[in-house]
């Protein structure tokens, strides 16, 4: 009975055991292969990101040009409207004059003709006056409609370009996230690779040490056998252990040397240059708060886009800049720690840094120039 119970207990314990799979650590070669593949993906993504940033920059130029075309169309439309109004009022004045005179002026003009030929000429003149008025008014109305249609078309094109810009920026954000994720993966693989290399080195040292001891043991045994097989009369009266190299000393243990602690030195501070100039840039930026965002806008107090705002603020300080964010970024001195008056840049966008992690920017269509948290990938200085 006891044997039966013991057998049942052993069976229950055996069935209750859960098999846990054991996975071997990845080898150095496998980790190096994984890292190379991940790095290749990062390189490919970086190339894709570079091309996308180039498209964003080109698109900014298209948006600026389109905005300027719309501004010009609005000016042309206003002029056509004024000409139409002027011609309309001129017609009303002539009609009013003829009405008040009871058409006497027209009749007198006709009856004052000296002969039939003169009558025909004067009749044609009266008719031409009316025809001219109608023609000019119709022409101005037509021109106004053409300009209005052009403005509508340009606004539609601008809207499409803005939608494309939003799409590009969303793609860029996704690429940035993917690249950072891959870089984190590579960093993790680097750590694993370092551990695997250390383990492999330690394993190699253990094998070499075991092999050394094995050879020493074989040599001792061979020496002992040789001493035992030698004739007793010729055997020297000495300890067999002396056959081993008495002068050999144990291998010195390797003691790692303590290297001096190195500390990185911070880079030299960037000269702040003319702080009065920087203050003038910041003051100019504050003066434009609330001004509407206008693509291609370069008129302070009326309408500015992001690079137009930066261009204006620097012009107040006596610094000439192009109306294009990429050129503004490329032409300045790159700085890692921004100061008020510096330009905050990211692909396709710029603003003026005002301190405390904030900038003044013309953000996008439908908004006014505002203060917002810094969104930048780089900073440049012109002062």
**Tens-digit pLDDT profile for residues 178-208:** 888 888 888 888 888 888 888 888 888 888 8
Strands 343-346 and 349-355: antiparallel
The answer on pLDDT for 311 being more than 90 is: yes
- Measured in Å, how far apart are the chain's first and last C-alpha atoms? 99
Assign 221 a pLDDT band (cuts: 50, 70, 90): confident
193 contact partners, CB below 8 Å, separation of at least 6: 28, 31, 32, 35
Mean pLDDT value across residues 317-339: 93
Mean pLDDT value across residues 121-137: 64
The answer on pLDDT for 329 being more than 50 is: yes
Helix (H) or strand (E) holding 370: strand 370-373
Four-residue CA torsion sign, 135, 137, 141, 143:
positive
125 contact partners, CB below 8 Å, separation of at least 6: 109
C-alpha distances in Å from residue 154, one per residue of 70, 108, 245: 6, 53, 97
Specify the pLDDT at position 95. Answer: 59
pTM: 0.56
The answer on pLDDT for 5 being more than 60 is: no
Four-residue CA torsion sign, 245, 247, 250, 256:
negative
The Cβ of residue 359 has, within 10 Å, a number of other Cβ atoms equal to 24
Q: Which one-letter DSSP state was computed for residue 197?
A: H
- 278 with 353: CB under 8 angstroms? no
Task: Measure CA 154 to chain center.
Answer: 27
In the structure encoding, which two tokens stand for residue 88, read together? 């309309």
Report how far residue 318's alpha carbon sits from residue 316's, in angstroms, rounded to the nearest whole number.
5
The answer on pLDDT for 43 being more than 60 is: yes
Residue entry with tokens 């409609």: 145
329 contact partners, CB below 8 Å, separation of at least 6: 343, 345, 350, 378, 380
Q: Which of 183-197, 206-220, 254-268, 316-330 comes out lowest in average pLDDT? A: 254-268
- For the chain, the structural domain boundaries read 28-194, 275-381
Q: What are phi and psi of 254, to 5 degrees?
A: -80, 120
Q: Cα angle at 58 between 53 and 60, to 5 degrees?
A: 95
Nearest Cα neighbor of 328 from 272, 284, 382 is 382
Superfamily name and number for 275-381? endopeptidase domain like (from Nostoc punctiforme) (3.90.1720.10)
Residues with catalytic function: 306, 349, 361
The answer on pLDDT for 231 being more than 70 is: no
Long-range contacts from 155-163, C-beta under 8 angstroms, 24+ separation? 155/70, 157/66, 158/63, 158/66, 158/67, 158/70, 158/295, 158/365, 161/59, 161/62, 161/63, 161/66, 162/63, 162/364, 162/365
Q: Which of 11-20, 66-75, 332-341 comes out lowest in average pLDDT? A: 11-20
Task: Measure CA 162 to chain center.
Answer: 17
Specify the pLDDT at position 6. Answer: 55
The answer on pLDDT for 116 being more than 60 is: no
Report how far residue 345's alpha carbon sits from residue 172's, in angstroms, rounded to the nearest whole number.
15
Specify the pLDDT at position 220. Answer: 87
Higher per-residue confidence, 207 vs 353 = 353
Residue 149 half-sphere exposure toward CB, CA atoms < 13 A: 6
Domains 28-194 and 275-381 fall in the same CATH topology: no
The answer on pLDDT for 122 being more than 70 is: no
Report how far residue 304's alpha carbon sits from residue 287's, in angstroms, rounded to the nearest whole number.
12
Specify the pLDDT at position 257. Answer: 42
Q: Which one-letter DSSP state was computed for residue 298?
A: E
Residue 262 half-sphere exposure toward CB, CA atoms < 13 A: 2
Report how far residue 103's alpha carbon sits from residue 97's, in angstroms, rounded to the nearest whole number.
8
The answer on pLDDT for 354 being more than 90 is: yes
In the structure encoding, which two tokens stand for residue 363, read together? 């953000």
Report how far residue 339's alpha carbon sits from residue 278's, in angstroms, rounded to the nearest whole number.
9
- Residue 349, SS3? strand
Range ranked top by mean pLDDT from 25-39, 110-124, 273-287: 273-287
> CA torsion 86→90→96→99, rounded to 10°?
-150
Specify the pLDDT at position 20. Answer: 53
**28-194 to CATH, choices 1.25.40, 1.10.3470, 1.10.287, 1.10.1060:** 1.10.287
The answer on pLDDT for 378 being more than 90 is: yes
Assign 379 a pLDDT band (cuts: 50, 70, 90): very high
Mean pLDDT value across residues 133-158: 80
The answer on pLDDT for 11 being more than 80 is: no
Specify the pLDDT at position 339. Answer: 94
The answer on pLDDT for 61 being more than 60 is: yes
């Amino acid at each position: 009975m006891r044997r039966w119970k013991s057998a049942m207990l052993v069976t229950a314990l055996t069935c209750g055991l859960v098999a846990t799979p054991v996975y071997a650590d990845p080898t150095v070669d496998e980790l190096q292969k994984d890292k190379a593949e991940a790095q290749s993906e990062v390189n490919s993504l970086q190339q894709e990101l570079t091309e996308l940033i180039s498209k964003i920059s080109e698109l900014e130029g298209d948006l600026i040009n389109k905005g300027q075309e719309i501004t010009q169309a609005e000016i042309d439309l206003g002029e056509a409207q004024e000409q139409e109004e002027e011609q309309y009022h001129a017609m009303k004045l002539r009609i009013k004059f003829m009405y008040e005179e009871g058409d006497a002026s027209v009749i007198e003009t006709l009856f004052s003709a000296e002969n039939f030929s003169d009558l025909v000429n004067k009749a044609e003149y009266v008719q031409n006056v009316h025809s001219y008025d109608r023609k000019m008014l119709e022409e101005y109305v037509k021109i106004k409609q053409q300009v209005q249609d052009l403005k509508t078309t340009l606004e539609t094109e601008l809207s499409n370009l803005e939608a494309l810009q939003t799409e590009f920026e969303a793609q860029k954000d996704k690429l940035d996230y993917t690249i950072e994720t891959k870089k984190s993966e590579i960093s993790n693989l680097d750590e694993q690779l370092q551990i695997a290399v250390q383990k492999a080195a330690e394993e190699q040292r253990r094998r070499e040490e075991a092999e050394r001891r094995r050879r020493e043991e074989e040599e001792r045994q061979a020496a002992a056998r040789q001493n035992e097989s030698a004739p007793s009369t010729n055997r020297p009266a000495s300890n067999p252990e002396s056959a081993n190299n008495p002068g050999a000393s144990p291998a010195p243990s390797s003691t790692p040397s303590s290297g001096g602690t190195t500390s990185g030195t911070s880079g030299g501070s960037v000269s702040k240059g003319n702080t009065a100039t920087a203050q003038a840039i910041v003051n100019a930026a504050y003066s434009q708060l609330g001004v509407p965002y206008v693509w291609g806008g370069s008129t302070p107090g009326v309408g500015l886009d992001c690079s137009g705002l930066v261009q204006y603020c620097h012009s107040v300080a006596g610094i000439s800049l192009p109306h294009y964010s990429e050129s503004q970024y490329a032409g300045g001195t790159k700085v890692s720690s921004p100061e008020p008056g510096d330009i905050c840049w990211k692909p396709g966008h710029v603003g003026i840094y005002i301190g405390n992690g904030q900038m003044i920017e013309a953000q996008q269509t439908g908004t006014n120039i505002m203060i917002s948290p810094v969104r930048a990938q780089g900073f440049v200085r012109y002062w």
